[in-house]
Amino acid sequence: MADPVAFEEAGSHSPQHPSSHLAAGGPAPLFPDLTRDDVFRLETPRLWLRWPRHSDTAAYRAFAGLKQVAEMTGSWPHPLPEGEVERRIFEARKANATGTSLVLALTPRARPNHQIGVIAISRGKLPGREQDVEIGYMLHPDLWGQGLMIEAAQAVLNTVFGYTAAPAVNAWTRVVNPASRRLLEKCGFRHNGSALRDLPARGGMLPCEAFVLDRKTWAALVNWRQSAPVPPQSGPQVDVVPGATASGPANAQGAQPGRLIRRDAGLSSGGVIPPGGA
Ligand SMILES: CC(C)(COP(=O)(O)OP(=O)(O)OC[C@H]1O[C@@H](n2cnc3c(N)ncnc32)[C@H](O)[C@@H]1OP(=O)(O)O)[C@@H](O)C(=O)NCCC(=O)NCCS
């Protein structure tokens, strides 16, 4: 299970990346310089995705500390020990800076300082699968079911396939997690078998399902989305703040794949990530 911000076991040399090089004693970068600066942003119709910060600690704890969130992950303990969130934010920033992972906080566009979720791309954690690239995510339960994580996942997947040489992205879900399974299927992942996986924070081996999205399928989906008519938006904008009443439409269907805000372009401009990369 690719939990967001579980990097202790992650990382090893990637022979596929053209600019791969081993930093002294550390894992090779997966991501290019572009994402390795904390001004890096992704923009989606309703969200900003940015690096997690120490000041996110309370908001991060507000969802990662909930049983219904933690129990679907393999590495997030419940209850959360003191200092756990701060430690993970530090680890996430380190992994982002070295390019070995990409961990982004989800924030509403209207409140970019308020974290509502997290999404991460990291290396495989199973022995012999360290070259795999895995996705993981968590969202505040007050905001479930509005298509927000699909929106975030599409933007992040575009970044992975656009800016790394990863041939595929893998995912694991517990068999009791239909929301995650559905999300993956809607992003184009296909079922890739079932297995017992060691989920240390859940107390041992539990049945999980594997999913994979390969580069070819992703490219076909991007082309399809670009050629499909975008349904007109109707109704009020969903207020993507935990605790707020969600009165607007879930807009996963019309969700754009995400705009990349280049670190040298400021926050007001950006470029759409091209299907084959920059
Ligand atoms: C998984 C998770 C991130 C999904 O976030 P989300 O923003 O609610 O997801 P989305 O709304 O984008 O998509 C979820 C899809 O699953 C569906 N779904 C939700 N709960 C479901 C259930 N119990 N059974 C079947 N489908 C379900 C939704 O209807 C939606 O599909 P739709 O767009 O066709 O209606 C969120 O549930 C979460 O944080 N869960 C706890 C942590 C977790 O499971 N992380 C993943 C570990 S592998």
- Provide the β-strand partners of residue 183: none
Q: What is the pLDDT of residue 84?
A: 98
Å from CA of 18 to ligand 1 middle: 35
For residue 227, report the phi and psi dihedrals to the nearest 5 degrees: -90, -20
Amino acid type, 245: T
Average pLDDT of the segment spanning 207-225 = 96
Under CATH, which architecture does the 33-149+156-166 domain have?
A: 3-Layer(aba) Sandwich (3.40)
Range of lowest pLDDT (36-50, 108-122, 125-139, 257-271): 257-271
Half-sphere exposure of 9 (CA within 13 A, CB side): 20
Ligand 1 in reach of 187 Cβ (< 6 A): no
Task: Output b/e per residue, 217-252; b: 16+ Cβ within 10 A.
Answer: ebeebbeebeeeeeeeeeeeebbbbbeeebebbebb
pLDDT band at 239 (very low <50, low <70, confident <90, very high): low
Amino acid code (one letter) for 225: R
CA of residue 181 to ligand 1 center, whole Å: 7
Of 3-7, 24-28, 212-216, give the lowest mean pLDDT range: 3-7
Residue ranges of domains in the chain: 33-149+156-166
Paired residues of 105 in beta bridges = 50, 118
pTM, two decimal places: 0.84
CA dihedral 181, 183, 184, 190 (to 10 degrees): 70
The predicted pLDDT at position 35 comes to: 98
> Which of 182, 191, 194 maximizes ligand 1 atoms within 8 Å of its Cβ, making it the mutation to test the pocket?
182
Average pLDDT score over residue span 116-138: 92
The b/e string for 69-94 (b: 16+ C-beta within 10 A; e otherwise) is bbebbbbbebebeeebbeebbebbbe
Tell whether the model's pLDDT for residue 21 goes beyond 90: no
For residue 42, the model assigns a pLDDT of: 98
**Residue-level pLDDT at 151:** 97
Task: State percent of the chain over pLDDT 70.
Answer: 74
**Which has more confidence, 171 or 231?**
171
Contact of 98 with 36, CB cutoff 8 Å: yes
Tokens of 10: 């992650």
Average pLDDT, the chain: 82
265 by DSSP, 3-state: which? Answer: coil
Distance CA 255, CA 145 (A): 14
Ligand 1 atom with the smallest distance to the CA of 2 is 48
The answer to whether residue 7 scores a pLDDT higher than 70 is no
Least confident of 84-93, 125-134, 218-227, 239-248: 239-248
List the one residue out of 44, 143, 159 whose CA is nearest residue 102.
Answer: 159
- Predicted pLDDT at 26: 65
The Cα–Cα gap between 95 and 118 comes to: 14
pLDDT digits (tens, 9 = 90+) for 151-163: 999 999 999 999 9
